[in-house]
């Protein structure tokens, strides 16, 4: 049945830039939250490990511990990190409780997920967002952790980080970006693909765009639409990555984002690596599919904003660390993403 009437409400809002702060539309309540940044970390600080999504094995936990100890950090975790409830790392409330404890633990300087998988969205209602406001810390993860980053940024205004999980590959490239953003922050920090990257950058739409960074894993970003944790993308640079999804699924998710207005008046779109998503020529269904570049051109090509594909973030070894809410510049000519302000205090 068609709706005969539509009620539309308008809210005029000013954007304030002062001391690195901003206003943000929270959920569906049209309230505003001031952006704030966590404190930087130093070598010798303590990393708190969590498993907010899929359960982890002993080997994965040990790998995460080893990774951060080798970088020069101390590591702490609660016994709940090894819980298991089906495919989840414990019940929704238990995982949230573990996270809340990490937030209030004075010994913890930054919180990192051991892995992604699935399950973060289920625990979002149990998180104490007031605790996060009172105890702002660096929070890092990607993939399924996208939903956690979304909720924290939307509910508290805390800048959080789409970056390596505990079991990621910490090579020189990824470590350098992590260090330049979290330990030795600088303004106008330019991020470009490494010369050794196999993935060649493709420019879909030329141009330069500036705005706050928001985004993450495409599947998770789409799943946030219609929830109280979704983020207003107007005036923002949206970054997206994916892994293991067939081209038609990528098509469907981008189409949903476009038709739901997520690309309306955005400042630009930075596409990372869509690992194992493109169809290969030797695939028997190759002639019956579209390539990712064709899909990106079809769906994003008519947008009047810069769009670039294959930047170094996603389920790959050479990985950017991307801060939610930090003003950035996307430049397709230079094939770069530049952070215009420091992400930590």
d(CA 163, CA 178) in angstroms, rounded, equals 8
Q: Are 191 and 339 in contact (CB under 8 A)?
A: yes
Kind and range of the H or E run holding 122: helix 120-123
**Which sequence positions are flagged as catalytic?**
143, 241, 315
Residues in the chain, total:
345
Q: Give the span between the Cα atoms of 65 and 43, in whole angstroms.
A: 15
Q: Helices (H), strands (E): how many in the chain?
A: 9, 16
Beta strands in 51-109 (DSSP E): 74-76
DSSP sequence for 153-214: HHHH-B--EE---TTS---HHHHHHHHHHHTS--SSEEEE--TT-SSPPEEEE--EEEEEEE
Q: Please say whether the beta carbons of 240 and 162 come within 8 A.
A: no
């Amino acid at each position: 049945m068609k709706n005969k009437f539509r009620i539309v409400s308008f809210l005029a809002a000013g954007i304030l830039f002062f001391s690195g702060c901003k206003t943000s539309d929270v959920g569906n309540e049209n309230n505003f939250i001031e952006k704030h940044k966590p404190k930087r970390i130093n070598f010798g600080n303590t990393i708190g490990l969590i498993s907010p999504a899929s359960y982890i094995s002993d080997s994965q936990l040990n790998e995460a511990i080893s990774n951060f100890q080798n970088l020069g950090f101390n590591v702490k975790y609660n016994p709940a990190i090894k819980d298991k409830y089906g495919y989840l790392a414990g019940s929704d409330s238990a995982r949230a409780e573990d996270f809340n404890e990490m937030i209030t633990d004075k010994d913890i300087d930054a919180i990192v997920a051991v892995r992604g998988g699935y399950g973060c969205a289920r625990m979002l209602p149990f998180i104490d967002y007031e605790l996060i406001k009172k105890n702002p810390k660096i929070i890092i993860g990607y993939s399924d952790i996208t939903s956690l980053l979304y909720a924290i940024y939307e509910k508290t205004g805390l800048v959080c980080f789409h970056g390596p999980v505990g079991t990621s590959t910490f090579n020189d490239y990824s470590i350098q970006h992590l260090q330049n953003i979290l330990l030795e922050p600088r303004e106008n920090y330019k991020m470009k693909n490494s010369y050794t990257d196999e993935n060649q950058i493709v420019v879909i739409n030329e141009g330069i765009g500036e705005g706050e960074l928001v985004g993450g894993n495409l599947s998770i970003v789409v799943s946030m639409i219609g929830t109280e944790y979704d983020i207003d993308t107007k005036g923002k640079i949206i970054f997206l990555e994916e892994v293991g999804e067939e081209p038609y699924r990528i098509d469907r998710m981008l189409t949903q984002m476009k038709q739901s207005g997520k690309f309306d008046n955005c400042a630009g779109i930075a596409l990372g690596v869509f690992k194992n998503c493109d169809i290969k020529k030797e695939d028997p269904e190759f002639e019956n599919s579209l390539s990712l570049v064709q899909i990106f051109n079809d769906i994003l090509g008519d947008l009047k904003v810069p769009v670039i594909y294959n930047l170094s973030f996603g389920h790959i070894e050479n990985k950017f660390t991307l801060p939610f809410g930090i003003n950035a510049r996307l430049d397709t000519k230079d094939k770069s993403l530049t952070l215009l302000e420091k992400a930590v205090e």
